[in-house]
Amino acid sequence: MSLGGAATTIGGTNLLAWYGAILPDPERRFVAPRVMGMTLGLGSVLLLPVALLVQLFLPDLGVRIYAIVFLVSGIAGVTEIIVLRQLAKPGRVHVARSSAGPADGPPAAPPSPHLQPFLRSITVAAFGAGFGPYLSIYAISVLHLPPSYAILLSAISSAASLVSATIIGGLLARGSASRTLRVSFLLRGSSMLLGLTAFPSNPLAGVIICVVAGVAAAGASAGTLSSNERLMRLTPGPDLISAQGRFVAGSAAGITAGQLSNAAILAILPLGYPAFAILFAVSGLTRFATAARVEVSETWTSSTRTYRNEDLRKP
């Protein structure tokens, strides 16, 4: 699951980098949130029948029902690879050094002083994401909810991500990416702390976990769009490819460290509410600490050029 999650993160981040390398800036801002929204919406629509399928056939087929789900998922993954191979290739990209400019021109602009603090905040936030508990495991192992409930959580997460991507995609066209990123940290931190109230004796624990899944997914979707937009605004030109690599490396390092810490706590402590309460608390407080320290612009208004529909219709 960790390898699959890492591959998904790397693939999604590289696809966003492809948008920046191939598409003009107005088209990139138009396409990226809509592609994410379509993907999440399709996932939400498909997960609901999968949850019903598992609920209906689990008593008769047992865990073999999951073999069918994995088979369909694998075929869809191969299909995605085939489709991605049809995308235009930007060719070999040569990343110029920041301190060196063209031989017959002025020196290149120095990197933004805000880039390094931004990358540090992304790494810390990724640690909080990796440290966060798997809600499906908590629901089944601690709250003793049925397996189909776990798939329902995925459907709720996809639906919340779809709504968030649609709203944030429009906001980022003319709004502050840094302030939107801070809001995404607060959403994810609040969702984790809310999870502390879903203790086993609470009759509303299942409903609370559904809310946690929705809010956390909305924050994650907003964070993905705003962090990539922030990265592209801080590193225009050829430096973007190098910064994108550091962005992916920091995210991967943070998530890996968080997941290893997560696994260590679950291995040492009994599998119950106290262990998961530690995960909820640390993950939530980490996001709040990141939100307090992240650099933001002075206003919600972006100084970058916004796309206009008439620009997209020009031949």
| Contact indicator for 183, 197 with CB cutoff of 8 Å | no
Spatial separation of the C-alpha atoms in residues 268 and 275, rounded to whole Å: 9
Closest CA to 133 of 258, 286, 1: 258
CA 202 to mean position of chain CA atoms: 30
Q: Confidence class of residue 312 from pLDDT cuts 50, 70 and 90?
A: very low
Residue 265's contacts (CB-CB under 8 Å, 6 or more residues apart) are 275, 278, 279
> In angstroms, how far is CA 116 from the centroid of its own chain?
20
CA 192, CA 128: separation in Å to the nearest integer? 10
Could you tell me the pLDDT band of residue 101, with boundaries at 50, 70 and 90? very low
For 189-214, what is the mean pLDDT? Answer: 94
Beta bridge partners of residue 175, listed in sequence order: 301
Q: Where are the domains of the chain?
A: 24-48+115-297
Could you give the 3-state DSSP secondary structure of residue 175? strand
Residue 282 pLDDT more than 70? yes
Cα separation, 125 vs 230, in Å, equals 15
What sign has the CA pseudo-torsion 108, 109, 110, 111? negative
Average pLDDT over residues 215-221: 90
Q: What does pLDDT average to over the chain?
A: 79
pLDDT band at 62 (very low <50, low <70, confident <90, very high): confident
pTM above 0.75, yes or no: no
pLDDT of residue 196: 94
CATH 3.30.43.10 applies to domain 24-48+115-297 = no
How far apart CA 248 and CA 254 sit, in angstroms, is 10
Segment 286-302 mean pLDDT: 82
pLDDT more than 70, % of the chain? 78
Rounded Cα distance between 62 and 54, Å, is 9
- Is the pLDDT higher at 2 or at 63? 63
For 133-142, 229-238, 279-288, which range has the lowest pLDDT when averaged over its residues?
229-238
